[in-house]
Amino acid sequence: MKVQVKKFKSILFSLLVSFVGSSYMFAQNGAFTSEGATARSSIGARTAASGLAEQEFRRGVQAYYRGAFNDAILEFEKALSYLPDEYIILDWLGKSYYRSGVEGAALEHWQYASGEGYGGLLLQNRIEVVRDRRLLSGGAIDKPVRYTEAGSYPGRNSENNLVFSQPTSVLPNTDGTMWVLSYGTNELIRLDLNGLVIDRNGGYFNGFDRPMDLIRLHNGNLLVSEFAGDRVSMFNSKGTFIKTFGKKGASLGGMVGPQYMAEDSDGNIYVTDFGNSRVDVFDSEGNPLFFFGNKTDDFPGLKGPTGIAVYEGTVYVADCLTGAVQRFDVSGNYLGLLCKAKTFKKPESLKRWGRYLVISDKNKVYSIDTDTGSLFENLSSGNAPSRLTSAVPDINGNILVTDFSSNEVYVMAKLSEVVGGLFVQIERVISDFFPKVTLEVKVENRSRQSIVGLKENNFFVTENKSPVLNYKLEGAAYANDSADITLLLDRSSSSSAYSESLENAVKEIAAAMADRGRLRIVSAGTLPLIEYEGTADGARNFKVKNLKNPAASRVALDVAVRMCANALINAAKKSAIVYIGDGHVTQNAFDKYGLTDLTAYLNNNSIAFASLLLSQGASDSEIDFLTKNTEGGEYYVYRDTGLSSLVDDIIQIPSGIYVLSYESNLSTDFGQRYLPVETEAFIMNRSGRDESGYFAPLQ
């Protein structure tokens, strides 16, 4: 009997310690009273409520990091029922709603907590970014915007060593690095996002002879025009020399001072020939085809052709001597003026960006509307002596500009991005092997574009505001060459008429994936069903007749998209849903989940959505909305280039997710204590920060 009483007292004491410890954590550790929130009653009065709230809060944090956001919402709401005024619970509840795609509810909780003094500028910035994103229509930019300098890469480093001289052209890469063409040193140089030299290329044999322009062909190869060499050099995507073509002269295939280049949809290469006052055209292998731009009855002829671009079958050529932009068809026939004479002072490169042409003109960069010829000034380098020779958009939403005179490459960003900084989110904390802690951190700009190319020294990790031990960048998702893909098969009656096309599409995508990720097939009928999941090879013999889901007059596409996304939350860091159907939706196809919440759910969890149409013509507005407001694109099943490029496009979608690790030095209180962690990402003049927390395993 005494033994049982002693055992009962021991259990009672353990429970009391647990509740008291929980209350101490809420009041002293900053979990429920941090960032301006204060304890509103004594520890003794809050012990029971705090203990129960702590248990639910801990479960909610764990569910959130597992990707079970609905479970996390339930746990945090339970925790709030015990302590309704604890703002950190509101913060986490808002984060769970945000990751679930219910951004309106997330903003409501964050705004209430912020209004009570919780979260400071960090929470206010998060609210502002999410609210602004909801106001954007998404998709491609339909009008140009103003840019300002966010930083630069100087020709000499901090130790006054020469990096490059007189840059004439810059070409961004999908991994955040860039090629810079150095006219003064006859080099092709690759820089990382921090301006460090990764590679130097002096050309083949005798080297470059005043390299002028640099472009990337559709097949990934690079072309360099050599102004003094009267030739064009071809390299592979890594900078390995392949061959040269062109020669000095005025005959077919000859050039005198080649400057800027462009490629059309057939792979033909256009080179502005300044010395011959014309445009030389070569096929994809460098064989001469023809030249144009000479004087005709209806055209006075090019005087000093510089920048060139090709868009939708029209060739646009800038003339630095007349200040005009002329239009030709791809056969060289004159079509008329886009911009009249003296519009520009000394135009240089001309690059296509959407339906606009970006032109460099002395100390300014303009966007030209290809429909109307109207101008918009994107940026200016000021009154200092400048000769801007090229301006191109990079993978991170900036414009890279080469200044020949000042010997710099400028990084120009939208003013809102420079002022507002980066949007950083700690998406997951893995503490299973504590004291080693692993963070998954997403870095974006305010327009939701992923920031790629960051290195270890672009992050700063602290816990409780103190630097961590043994910090390391473990990996970056943008470098991944695989993706998990879910094929969403529309089983509507109208789509079922294209069974053969659907079957071939699935087989072709499975073959294109090979071993580059896992494949899941979901059929969308009255209810969605998982038809297959595993390696892509297992779906190479896919048959429509084996589908478990029959054709239906009503297809719940909203439930199907949501189910597909749920399964991809914990998939590869690059993941996508590919809708395959005729693009038409049945009645009430989106009556359970709205389009806005679905797109937010996909975007907030880095899941792309692509549509593969089995019939020609425009898709219904719902499918179009999902496609345009998320990463991905629209494809036709019988496109000329096949469907293998669809898989490549998904894998090449930029991802700003980084994996960081460190050794924690905090006391865990046997796994009961909420442990804070903070991460800052910065590059040049921009930075962003996030704070979160986690629990170590129970002991």
Question: What pLDDT was estimated at residue 73?
Answer: 98
- According to the model, what pLDDT value does residue 39 have? 38
Could you tell me the pTM of the whole model? 0.90
Which of 269, 259, 256, 167 is CA-nearest to residue 216? Answer: 269
pLDDT, tens digit, for every residue of 368-386?
Answer: 999 999 999 999 988 888 9
Other beta carbons within 10 angstroms of residue 45's beta carbon come to 12
DSSP state for residue 525 in the 8-state scheme: S
Q: Please answer whether residues 521 and 506 qualify as being in contact, where contact means their C-beta atoms are separated by less than 8 angstroms.
A: yes
> What pLDDT is attached to residue 142?
54
Is the bond leading into 435 cis (omega within 30 degrees of zero)?
yes
pLDDT exceeds cutoff 80 at 498? yes
Tokens of 400: 């890279």
Q: What are the residues whose beta carbons fall under 8 Å from the beta carbon of 130, sequence distance 6 or more?
A: 98, 103, 106, 107
pLDDT of residue 138: 42
Q: Average pLDDT, stretch 584-592?
A: 93
DSSP symbol at 453 = -
- pLDDT at residue 194 is higher than 70: yes
List all residues 6 or more positions away from 166 whose beta carbon is below 8 Å from its beta carbon: 155, 182, 183, 184, 404, 407
- pLDDT tier at 81 (50, 70, 90 boundaries)? very high
Does residue 336 come out as left (phi exceeding 0), alpha (psi in the -120 to 50 range) or beta?
left
pLDDT of residue 51: 86
The model's confidence at residue 2, banded by pLDDT at 50, 70 and 90, is: very low
In the predicted structure, residue 5 carries a pLDDT above the cut 50: no
Q: What's residue 153's pLDDT? A: 95
Sheet hosting strand 231-235, strand order edge to edge:
211-216, 222-226, 231-235, 241-245
Question: Is the sign of the CA dihedral 410, 415, 418, 423 positive or negative?
Answer: negative
Average pLDDT taken over every residue of the chain: 91
Across the range 518-529, mean pLDDT stands at: 96
pLDDT of residue 511: 95
Segment 342-365 shows an average pLDDT of 94
The tens digit of pLDDT for each residue in 263-306 reads 999 999 999 999 999 999 999 999 999 999 999 988 999 999 99
Q: Percentage helix, strand, coil, to 5, in the chain?
A: 25, 35, 40
d(CA 580, CA 589): 15
Strand order in the sheet with 388-393: 147-154, 408-414, 399-403, 388-393
Question: pLDDT tens, 8-56?
Answer: 444 444 444 444 444 444 544 444 443 333 333 334 445 778 889 999 9
Print the SS3 string covering 370-411: CCCCCEEEEEECCCCCCCEEEEEECCCCCEEEEECCCCEEEE
Helix (H, G, I), strand (E, B) or coil at 537: helix
Q: Which of 517, 524, 512 is nearest to 556 (CA)?
A: 524
Q: What is the pLDDT of residues 84-139, one digit of tens each?
A: 989 999 999 999 999 999 999 999 999 999 999 999 999 999 999 999 988 764 43
The 3 state secondary structure assigned to 467-495 is ECEEEEEEEEHHHCCCCEEEEEEECECCH
What are 204-260's pLDDT values in tens digits? 888 999 999 999 999 999 999 999 999 999 999 999 999 999 999 999 999 999 999
Return d(Cα 280, Cα 288) in angstroms, integer: 8
Which pLDDT does position 33 carry in this prediction?
43
**C-alpha span between 81 and 86 (Å, rounded):** 10
Higher-confidence residue: 42 or 357? 357
Q: Are 539 and 506 in contact (CB under 8 A)?
A: yes
The reported pLDDT for the residue numbered 419 is 83
Q: 3-state SS string over 253-277?
A: CEECCEEEEEECCCCCEEEEECCCC
Length of the chain: 699
CA distance 224 to 202: 11
Which pLDDT does position 37 carry in this prediction?
38
Residue 12 is predicted with a pLDDT of: 41
| Predicted local confidence at residue 136, as pLDDT | 62
Nearest to 561 by CA among 574, 546, 578: 578
Residue 471: φ, ψ to 5°:
-65, 140
Q: Distance between CA 124 and CA 122 in Å, rounded?
A: 5
State pLDDT tens for residues 534-574.
999 999 999 999 999 999 999 999 999 999 999 999 999 99
Higher pLDDT, 8 or 681: 681
